[in-house]
Amino acid sequence: MQGISGKYALVTGAAGGIGQAIVARLRKEGAIVCGTDRETAEADHFIQGDLMDARFADSLPQTAQDMIGGLDIVINNAGIITRGEITQATDEDYRRTMAINVEAPFRICRAAIPLMADNGGAIVNLASCWGVHPGPNHPLYVMSKAAVASLTQCLGLDHAHQGIRVNAVCPNEVNTPMLRTGFAARGLDPDAAIETLNASVPLGRIAEAQDIADVVAFLASDDARYMCGALLEVNGGKPVQ
């Protein structure tokens, strides 16, 4: 992969299923990676904190740059899934979903872009296939991911002239704690539920975190030098049903 070696990267949600895979893939390509999460995570450098804290999110790009020596790549990966129909949603569900999934990427992009403006760079946001094609019974999650998709398209347009490419990956189901805890909460065995789901995917299986991390790394690399504002669906051929 061209143009990742020696670059400085910030990855949010670095302790999560997809986040760990992104950190590992970027490091394998030779990037110097600063991970951040509420939980501790493996990375070259790590910043612990809560993205619901506005000051923490605002200061993250500068803190990461000071810690690792530069900032070329930002991956807004942290996210939560809020399940259930709107009639079951509390004010706190709304506030929390929007704070982590939308407001934190907004704050991080706003602070990172001026830092990247001199040398250019790449921002990759984790949206979701549901941010492009809404799925049932998750209105808060779906609207938050639609906002991430829209933010990506807007920033891709507005900052291309600075050499900053902003793109998003939109996965369908990925075998991570986010998906597995959903099955467990519904009283299902996650392994059995994933076996069933695998049969619904044209490529024969749902995604592993590495499948998503590889596409994130591609978008962060110079191999994607002519891509900006794109919403890349990574779904094994399975449309949203």
Q: Which of 44/50 has CB closer to ligand NAD?
A: 50
**Residues lying near ligand NAD in the complex (CB under 6 A):** 13, 15-19, 37-39, 50-52, 77-80, 100, 126, 128, 171, 173-174, 176-179
Rank residues 117 and 240 by Cβ distance to ligand NAD and give the closer one: 240
- If the CB atoms of residues 117 and 180 are measured against ligand NAD, the closer one turns out to be 180
Q: Which residue is nearest to ligand NAD (CB)?
A: 16
- Given the complex with ligand NAD, which of 38 and 238 has the nearer CB atom? 38
CB of 14 to ligand NAD, least distance (A): 7
Task: Tell me which residues are annotated as active site.
Answer: 141
Q: At what angle do helices 54-68 and 104-116 cross, to 10 degrees?
A: 30
CA–CA separation, 181 and 187 (whole Å): 10
CB of 229 to ligand NAD, least distance (A): 19
CA distance 212 to 20: 11
| Residues in CB range of 71: below 8 A, 6 or more apart | 8, 10, 61, 64, 65, 112, 115, 116, 121
| Cβ atoms of 119 and 72 closer than 8 Å | yes
- 34 φ, ψ to 5°? -105, 115
Distance CA 48, CA 106 (A): 19
- Kindly state the smallest distance separating residue 118's Cβ from ligand NAD, in Å: 28
CB of residue 148 to ligand NAD, shortest distance in Å: 8
